[in-house]
Amino acid sequence: MKPRTICENVYLLGAVDWDRRLFDALIPLPHGTSYNCYFVAGSEKNVLIDTVDPAKSATLMRQLDQLPAPDYLVINHVEQDHSGCTPMLLERYPELTIVCNEKARAMLIDHLHVDDARFQVVADGDTLSLGDKTLTFLFTPWVHWPETMSTWLEEDKVLFSCDFFGSHYATNDVFADKHEVYDGAKRYYAEIMMPFGAQVLRNIDKVTKYPIKFIGPSHGPVYDDPGFIIEAYRDWAGGEPQNIVCLPFVSMHDSTLKMVDHLTAELTDRGVAVERFDLTTLDAGELASSLVHAGTIVLGTPTVLTGPHPLAMYAAVLANALRPRAKYATVIGSYGWAGKTVETLAGMMGKLKVEFLEPVLAKGMPREADYAALDALADAIAEKHAGLAPRNFADLTVCRTDD
């Protein structure tokens, strides 16, 4: 694909990775992804902002064949899907200077063994003149790593945000269709940004002091309607939990499944939305996305030997790492003789600021008393959720903005 124009002398470069199905050996990519970088041609100097995953270096090099040599390489973020081609660019352009912050400089030396002599280190708010265009560097830590920054192009009002506002969504379109990209962007937020919700909100406040016309992320399409993704981020990072129970479960001989089915029906009858995830076929991105808005997490698991099923432990570890804003959590499931399933799972979710509701454990196949206990749990959840926002209210509002 040739360099594509965003506005005058500002080009989208990079590669669409249609077939990639796993990121960080962890995150499923049902819609592939892209690695975007940007070329800004000034009247005096040219700059390349970020690079691509090294697996797609040939694509970037072919695009650069069609452009003048860059004087600067801005590295907004050191994760290798954006910085990985830095060594080959330094070799290709002997005069190229890397522009980044101090943390990124140290990381580039650690991760890619970049020569210390090739850096121009910038501070938060520093500017770089390209002649008729001016870049300002805005430190936006923790979207995704501590060194992450965004680059603001003053004259054209473009924010190059790297992972911030990105989506794992492979498309040929330069600009985002908000209905098309919404789910992918939310899923990306959930997987990458959710643990840093407070920093996300601070960074939104910081970058929105600028009159943004375009947001150029490093994954997924460019936003020429930046208000849509900014408001979506405000909702995901700061909106109240909704009337949703996120219910990841695993069942070995259907006893836990019967309990999950019963609780699902009882919650539904009480007006509580349930988002269920069979952990044997889990797409971790879908579970993460559900956790963005869930008011309660219920883990369904049998007891295996003396503890939770390993797949339930995986779900607990994932939830603990992503730190969603759910207010309540509990465990349901079946056991054969004894164990410490509830204590083990609760211990694995120690970072969550949740109130633990009374768990429901059935010995063997659930009996009437166990179903009654599930009914009581459904009552408790419905009561707790009475003050929460309705499911998807905010999502739909965002999607319908200015339609």
Instruction: Characterise 162 by phi-psi region: left (phi > 0), alpha (psi -120 to 50), beta (else).
Output: left
The residue count for binding ligand FEO (CB under 6 A) is: 8
CB 326 within 8 A of CB 298: no
How many residues belong to the chain?
403
Residue from 178, 186, 219, 309 touching ligand FEO (CB under 6 A): that is 219
Reference 133, options 242, 5, 40, 229; nearest CA is: 40
Interaction pattern, residues 61-80, with ligand FEO; x per rule: CB under 6 A: ----------------x-x-
Q: Is 56 in the site for ligand FEO (CB under 6 A)?
A: no
Strand partners, 98: 73, 119
Return the number of the residue (150 or 218) whose C-beta is nearest ligand FEO. 218
Pick the closer one to ligand FEO by CB: 56 or 133: 56
State which residue, 165 or 182, has the beta carbon closest to ligand FEO: 165
| Cβ neighbours, 10 Å, residue 391 | 21
Name the residue among 166, 165, 167, 134 with its Cα closest to residue 151.
134
CA 107 from chain centre, in angstroms, equals 22
Nearer to ligand FEO, 24 or 402 (CB): 24
H or E stretch at 257: helix 255-269
Q: Answer yes or no: are the C-beta atoms of 289 and 184 closer than 8 Å.
A: no
Nearest distance, CB of residue 26 and ligand FEO, angstroms: 12
- Footprint (CB under 6 A) of ligand FEO, residues 269-308: none
CB-CB neighbours of 71 under 10 Å: 18
Q: Which residue lies nearer to ligand FEO by CB, 221 or 333?
A: 221
82 lies in the binding site for ligand FEO (CB under 6 A): yes
Return the number of the residue (191 or 370) whose C-beta is nearest ligand FEO.
Answer: 191
Q: How far is the CB of 50 from ligand FEO (least distance, A)?
A: 9
Asked if residue 81 binds ligand FEO (CB under 6 A), the reply is yes
17 makes contact with ligand FEO (CB under 6 A):
no
Q: Provide the minimum distance between the beta carbon of 170 and ligand FEO in the complex, in angstroms, as a whole number.
A: 14
Q: Where are the beta strands (DSSP E) in 272-357?
A: 273-278, 294-300, 303-304, 307-308, 328-335, 355-356
Q: Which is nearer to ligand FEO, 101 or 218 (CB)?
A: 218
Positions 147 through 186 that interact with ligand FEO (CB under 6 A):
163
Run of H or E residues at 153: strand 149-153
Binding-site ranges for ligand FEO (CB under 6 A): 77, 79, 81-82, 144, 163, 218-219
